Amino acid sequence: MSGTNYKKILSLGFPFEVLNKDLKLIFTSNLLGSFGDGLYAYLLPVYLTESLGANDVEVGIVYAVVSLVAALTLLVAGTLADRYDRKKIMIAGWIAWIPAPLIFSLANNWLQTLPGIILLGVWLGGPTSTAYIVTTADKTKLTLTFTVISSAWSFGYIFSPAVGGYLAGTVGMHIVFYLAFVFYTLAALVLTFISSQHAIHLAHKSSNKDYSFFKLLKTKRLLKLSILFASLIFVTLMFRPFIPKFLADIYHYGKFEIGILGSISFFSSAVLGILLGKLGDKWKKSVALAVAMLLSSFSLILLLTFSEFYILIIAFFLIGGSYILWSLMSAIIGPLAPEHMRARWISIPQTVSIFTSFVAPYVGGILYSFSQSYLFIIAVVATLFLSALIFSKVFET
């Protein structure tokens, strides 16, 4: 075997080599933050129901609030990231999350969690981090770069749902929320060590008036991608918050078992993310996106059909594909944007996606209260349909 071939194989075996120093710090920040998030996020629907008295529709309302606030902040984040230091905007995004778990720990009913829920919806890091990564990454390995960085969230979630489930069952959810607060704080601190990054402003194109939200949205390429991504996010947010409830209500699994299955799904999203990232760079990013949706669809079929734990392990491994949609979308959108307005450009489809889908959890709550299985049957049909559209190149630009 030649030295060149050996290096190629070695490179494939170590995908984290695509990250430079700053991207490794972002990876570390996401890893710490996601571990804290995973301690309680997968149990939050159950906690809202069992401990704070929320019904199915009210759980849907809570997640709809997160999406609505995110829709209102993404465009603001994009504008700020094109004017100021992107590093500071990303740090501010984590700072907004820090008080949320403390608010949850103090709540006596589901309405009192809303201030924390609103803070979780402040997604300043969405378009900002995407623009930062696109600007500093190797453009020939962009899909893999995004999925590797996204895998930090997955690695953080591998053990944290199980740890959170165990702690919730032994010492209570309050301790879980306090630990999440600590990890959110560490995530913000790590980002203080990355390099500053400012958008390159072109004198003749610096006017914000010339690049308003609605003018950018009229761009044919951006409009088509916004419609596609809005559809993907809507379907995903419609069913995903109700998977833990389905396991508890229908299959009667406890917090610990639900946490274990959650850990499996996040481990798989890291593995699938890296594999699909390589697929996207070698073939087409849209193919990787369509395959992720197909895996999500098949996982829901298994979830509906089998209650045996060992089969649910397979289902939750495949459902990891639904957790890498955002990174695949970022890899598609990011390179299309001009540098001087990259974050704003990126924020358009992200804003449209979240804004048009903020009612998705509410719709999911209504469907789930009507029939637990009906919600997931609709999700299967929708994911298969969207995969077919992507493969048919309807949304090709």
Looking at the domain assignment, is residue 225 inside a domain?
yes
Looking at the domain assignment, is residue 6 inside a domain?
no
Looking at the domain assignment, is residue 103 inside a domain?
yes
Mean pLDDT by 10 residues, the chain (397 residues): 42 64 92 91 83 81 82 84 90 94 91 91 85 84 83 81 84 91 95 88 45 61 81 86 86 81 80 79 79 88 91 89 79 73 77 76 85 89 88 62
What the block records as the tokens of 137 is 């990454």
Looking at the domain assignment, is residue 92 inside a domain?
yes
What was the pLDDT predicted at 207? Answer: 44
Q: How wide is the angle at C-alpha 22 spanned by C-alphas 18 and 27, nearest 5°? A: 70
The CATH number of whichever domain residue 116 belongs to comes to: 1.20.1250.20
d(CA 251, CA 157): 23
d(CA 76, CA 55): 33
The amino acid at residue 30 is: N
What the block records as the tokens of 286 is 């849209």
What was the pLDDT predicted at 12? Answer: 39
Looking at the domain assignment, is residue 9 inside a domain?
no
If you search the block for the tokens 């609030």, which residue do you land on? 65
What was the pLDDT predicted at 4? Answer: 43
What was the pLDDT predicted at 143? Answer: 80
What was the pLDDT predicted at 201? Answer: 56
288-327 core/surface letters (b: 16 or more CB in 10 A; e: else): bbbbbbbbbbbbbbbbbeeeeeeebebbbbbbbbbbbbbb
d(CA 152, CA 36): 12
What 3-state class would DSSP assign to 55?
Answer: coil
Contacts of 346 (CB under 8 A, 6+ apart): 78, 126, 127, 130, 131, 330, 333, 334, 337
Quote the domain boundaries for residue 357: 18-193+207-391
Looking at the domain assignment, is residue 91 inside a domain?
yes
Looking at the domain assignment, is residue 10 inside a domain?
no
The total domain count for the chain is 1
pTM: 0.74
Determine contact, residues 59/365, Cβ cutoff 8 Å. Answer: yes
H helix or E strand, kind and range, residue 228: helix 220-239
Looking at the domain assignment, is residue 5 inside a domain?
no
What was the pLDDT predicted at 336? Answer: 73
